[in-house]
Chains A and B, each alone.
Chain A
């Protein structure tokens, strides 16, 4: 894929910029161009999300696409954000056994994949478990 496709998503992916309908006040992330509830009656405006939420469901991916093979097994989760919208993201920096439904997470900024060794590096959101205290694992 040519770079413009990724480039145009940069603000949303780096900074969790969603959209908010000024008619029904619903927040959308990933951003939408039209509010599915109010359609043309509503008007969507950019809305930055805080990036706090909890795990609604998760899976540990063992068989991954080429771009993600070096990361298996990785945790992929649906995160319910505080502002309402849900987003799919990897849960990084954890043992898969640590993740459970309801776990509190925050969105962080990580390398998602790269377009080969010579291509563009794609950065974006991943979730990180909010641990009550630092943990030491071996």
Chain B
């Protein structure tokens, strides 16, 4: 039995902070940052938004495209590193808000920025085994970053949701294979009760992001006996605007193949939302028969790679929810002080 994606949806908050605003505060040349990171601006959550609300918006958008009864969803997994509660699942709130309760299993996943794709894999297994009819996997974050840290230029807010079902249940893309690559690599972490993550600086690059992303991609290509030329689109996790471009080049993908899913320059790194938003953006623009490579990356560290083939159902489903480009274009610029308030770095006492 084959499994596929029967619905997908994304959500990005309206608020944007330009690199210039951050650089000004910390006395850094913004051109250097933009060139170094390949990020121009990042999305910021509104005062009433968090990982729960972002997940609900994304999940509702996915449901609309899936056109299924929410009660037929048997599993809801929300991947994030910014769950509003440390104990008490985001997934139960999301399940309730999309009308999927009570006959389902639900849990929160955490694997830095790849918990969303881990959720997809869990759903795939459950659908394939016949345990559930549909599974919802969400990757969403209101990404944390320490003030003044290099992460601050990119850490953003957004999320995407994918509903996994059997290929014959009107899937808009078939998942033809998945491959994961995992090691214990402490390149980025956040300890219990600490508000901001720490990271290993340049150590996050080669032994972290690149080793895992490339290994997962190579592993999947090998497994499916495919080469980059067989793909129309490729999406990689986007901690910034540069890493995914370098990874693509290393693997032999062209800029044309990664353009549709490259969102970091305009919205930054939405952590668990990053690669899934990229996938959503690609699906918004793809056509029947397109083959898509998706490779997530989560620090700590691991990557999940997927190969998807778009079906004709994309045509009838695509316009049922807002597109990623709609969210990217609908924006309001804020200043650094407002950003501090919205991300609760500045709290009324």
Contacts and interface: CB of A to CB of B under 8 A. Distances in A.
B128 interface: no
A89 B60 CA distance: 20
A57 interface: no
Interface in A29-54: none
A56 interface: no
Nearest to B327: A134
B53 A123 contact: yes
A110 B49 contact: yes
B53 A111 contact: yes
B147 interface: no
A82 interface: no
Contact of B333 (A14, A123, A137): A137
B348 A93 contact: no
A93 B60 CA distance: 18
B96 interface: yes
A92 B46 CA distance: 9
Contacts of B47: 70-71
A109 B333 contact: no
Interface residues of B, number: 25
Interface string B40-65: 00000011111011001100100000
A111 B93 CA distance: 12
Contact of A137 (B97, B332, B341, B348): B332
A126 interface: yes
A69 interface: yes
A136 B326 CA distance: 11
B331 A121 contact: no
B14 A93 contact: yes
B176 interface: no
B85 A121 contact: yes
B230 to A, nearest CB: 35
Contact of A134 (B60, B326, B333, B341): B326
B330 A71 contact: no
A108 B48 CA distance: 11
A109 B53 contact: yes
Question: Which DSSP category, helix, strand, loop or mixed, fits chain B's interface?
Answer: mixed
Given A69-B348, A111-B50, A138 B97 contact: no
Given A111-B50, A112-B48, A15 B326 contact: no
A108 B93 CA distance: 14
Given A110-B53, A123-B97, 11 more contacts: A10-B96, A14-B93, A15-B96, A70-B47, A93-B14, A109-B60, A111-B48, A111-B49, A111-B53, A121-B85, A136-B330
A102 interface: no
A99 B44 CA distance: 22
Nearest to A136: B331
Contacts of B332: 95, 136-138
A123 B96 CA distance: 11
A84 interface: no
A121 B84 contact: yes
Contacts of B46: 92-93, 110
Contacts of A15: 96-97, 99
9 contacts: A11-B96, A15-B99, A70-B47, A70-B348, A71-B47, A110-B49, A134-B330, A137-B331, A137-B333
B291 to A, nearest CB: 30
Contacts of A95: 332
A135 interface: yes
Contacts of B331: 134, 136-137
Contact of A92 (B48, B97, B341): B48
Contacts of B103: none
B330 A135 contact: yes
Interface in A82-138: 90, 92-93, 95, 108-112, 121, 123, 126, 131, 134-138
B330 A131 contact: yes
Among B96, B326, B341, B348, the most chain A Cβ lie within 10 Å of the Cβ of B96
Interface string A62-91: 000000011100000000000000000010
